[in-house]
Chains A and B, each alone.
Chain A
Amino acid sequence: MHIVICIKQVPDSAQIRVHPVTNTIMRQGVPTIINPYDLFALEEALQLRDRHGGEVTVLTMGPPMAEDALRKALTYGADRAVLLTDRHFAGSDTLATSFALSRAIAKIGEAFGTPDIVFTGKQTIDGDTAQVGPGIAKRLDLLQLTYVAKIVSVDINGREITVERRSEGGTQTLMSKLPCLITMLEGTNEIRRGSLDDALRAARSQIVKWNAADAGIEDLTKCGLRGSPTVVKRVFAPPERAEKAEQIDTAEKTPRDLAEELIAGIFLRQPALESELAFDGE
């Protein structure tokens, strides 16, 4: 079976700082990581390959330095890595991104075998949209299974797949067909430590590098800023709250005293709450 997984190299947003005057992101020195949700998807892809045989191809679209993320994925055990990089992709929104990635996946299919499953993480931590996965599925006319918590079974010969999918207030069990696109939820598995063999192979591996033309993209108006119906008009910092929290003086007070003051403070500000809070027995 051939599995393609899309990953993204993202800034470790926990360490991002915003320039206080210009309101721009200060990227310098901010380390990059593989989007954490993509790692769950990668692990799932590797497990399926280990169980059913076949190959895992990782794909990323990004600047040349995104190669680092691909190498990392190879050390975890992916078999092949494709970097889609071209300055024509700069400024892509989710629609343009899903276009470029879907073309590259089609090309991967021609070059290395049609994928049975395409994986993505449920969303990225920098864009946070959860839109690229469904976009790719639509463009490639693949069945889409989003927010998948668990792959229950895959029947390669029967071309069937059963998954558990999170929905509002519960878990759906869905049966669908291959090929399909899956967006993977967090917390379902933990990425393996790659073996020494994998590390050696990753160091030796050639990363396949494609520009737009290599990926079979002729119509550049569908890429980058030109292919993006949305534009960012304004970027700004969230408004500051004028006053800080009113502090309860803690000097020489027992927890009981403080609790008393806190409760008084709550009901002073929200008198209606007193009648609404319920005592719940045990």
Chain B
Amino acid sequence: MLSTNRESPPPAAGRAAMKKELPDQFKDHRHVWVFIELERDQVHPVSFELLGEGRKLADKLGVQLAGVVLGPPGEATWFAIAEAFAYGADLAYLVEAPLLADYRNEPFTKALTDLVTNYKPEILLLGATTLGRDLAGSVATTLLTGLTADCTELDVDADGSLAATRPTFGGSLLCTIYTLNCRPQMATVRPRVMAMPPRGNNKIGRVIQHKVSMIEEEIVTKVLGFLSDGQSATANLAYADVVVAGGLGLGAVENVKLMKKLARTIGADYGCSRPLVQKGWMPADRQIGQTGKTIRPKLYIAAGISGAIQHRVGVEGADLILAINTDPNAPIFDFAHLGVVTDAIRLLPSLTELFTHRLSPHSRDKLAN
């Protein structure tokens, strides 16, 4: 189906004037693809977030949305495909092979590049995860096409080009980037930057299977082992509903406990600003912000965090931001919803105590005894 958008007049002058007629070899590139990240039998939720965005782009272009699943033969890949349909994909491309069991750059690059060359998408989106970035860079270079990292907004312009907006200079500015004269137009998006779309009931769609033209013997890199971070750990921070975080305003490593205690009390996950990682008060995967995790909780409590732009970009998606800071002019009050100018070290224990009372009649009884 041809999009009506394509018949719109070309945009006026400016940088877009650099856009020339698309070379013939790319003219039959169609459809929006989302790479469905499957690692250790788990679909990364960022893939669903991307399907939500991909759906909007595909609708604007009047084309189909496809999920791309690469993995070992077995239930996990088919489950991933069913999920892709439930989150809005019209069709799915599947490459199943034992050599796609654990992520390795060589076979994944080969499989995805082959798929693109064969089936010609015009847009290809991947999560900006360790896997997605590793793969996207190789695939884009192999195909000699444009790749825009860490987009915060995706759109198609009047003539059907992908307009990919991303932060630059550590988040101080945003820029919108186009891929000229090459296809596919590739972009990565960090987890939690896009909202999770609603899950539908559609479980059926067309599945196109493709074989990877590679054998295990050709792959140099071998996986010797995998050590999981475990259930308790940090992997969940990006997806937590409630997050409590501390910054340098906590003053000393002992006070980090006050913040963790509040988190535990209200069943929240916890994180921190960058200096706490640099001081060794917290592990790197607890860091929230531009060079840490992006979070999207329902409630974010920031204690002793100034709210520098690099921190702000990681928390802006929160529904309710609550800031505790001694400095009434701290930048965090520019984007928080509720603020209190006070000493976090004194307030945190009271908060913990009062939350305990309010939330748990059981514990109130315990305290009374």
Closest to B234 in A: A169
> Is the pair A169, B229 in contact by a Cβ cutoff of 8 Å?
yes
> Is the pair B242, A277 in contact by a Cβ cutoff of 8 Å?
yes
Query: Contacts A128-B290, A233-B16 known; A241 to B334 CB distance under 8 Å?
Result: yes
> Knowing that A266-B320, A269-B320, A277-B359 are A-B contacts, what are 18 other residue pairs whose CB atoms are under 8 Å apart, sorted by A's residue number?
A23-B173, A129-B150, A131-B137, A162-B224, A168-B129, A170-B228, A234-B175, A241-B335, A256-B350, A256-B353, A256-B354, A258-B340, A262-B340, A263-B351, A263-B354, A273-B298, A277-B268, A280-B266
Report the separation of the CA atoms of residues A231 and B182 in the bound assembly, to the nearest whole angstrom: 12
Binds A, one of B72-80, B83-91, B196-204, B341-349: B341-349
Closest to A17 in B: B172
Query: Contacts A13-B170, A270-B299 known; A170 to B144 CB distance under 8 Å?
Result: no
Which of A120-139 touch B at CB < 8 Å?
125-135, 137-139
Give the size of the chain A interface in residues (CB under 8 angstroms). 88
- When distances are taken between beta carbons in the complex, the residues of chain B under 8 Å from A127 are 149, 168
> Is the pair B355, A263 in contact by a Cβ cutoff of 8 Å?
yes
> Is the pair B140, A131 in contact by a Cβ cutoff of 8 Å?
yes
Report the separation of the CA atoms of residues A93 and B40 in the bound assembly, to the nearest whole angstrom: 33
Closest to A267 in B: B358
Q: Does residue B369 face the partner (Cβ distance < 8 Å to A)?
A: no
A interface with B by C-beta (< 8 Å): 11, 13-14, 16-18, 23, 25, 93-95, 98, 125-135, 137-139, 143-147, 162, 165-177, 186-187, 228-238, 240-241, 244-248, 250, 254-256, 258-263, 265-266, 269-270, 272-274, 276-280, 282
Instruction: State the main secondary structure of chain B at its contact with A.
Output: mixed
> Is the pair B144, A95 in contact by a Cβ cutoff of 8 Å?
yes
- When distances are taken between beta carbons in the complex, the residues of chain B under 8 Å from A254 are 350
> Is the pair A95, B146 in contact by a Cβ cutoff of 8 Å?
yes
Report the separation of the CA atoms of residues A238 and B353 in the bound assembly, to the nearest whole angstrom: 38
> Is the pair B148, A13 in contact by a Cβ cutoff of 8 Å?
no
Query: Contacts A175-B224, A235-B175 known; A266 to B277 CB distance under 8 Å?
Result: no
Closest to A247 in B: B339
Report the separation of the CA atoms of residues A169 and B130 in the bound assembly, to the nearest whole angstrom: 10
- When distances are taken between beta carbons in the complex, the residues of chain B under 8 Å from A137 are 138
Which of B309-336 touch A at CB < 8 Å?
309-310, 313, 319-323, 328, 332-336
B131 contacts which of A167, A246, A266 (Cβ < 8 Å)?
A167
7 contacts between A and B (CB under 8 A): A128-B149, A128-B291, A174-B224, A229-B144, A232-B175, A241-B335, A247-B339
Distance of B299 from chain A, by nearest CB (Å): 6
> Is the pair A233, B338 in contact by a Cβ cutoff of 8 Å?
no
Report the separation of the CA atoms of residues A243 and B180 in the bound assembly, to the nearest whole angstrom: 39
- When distances are taken between beta carbons in the complex, the residues of chain A under 8 Å from B290 are 128
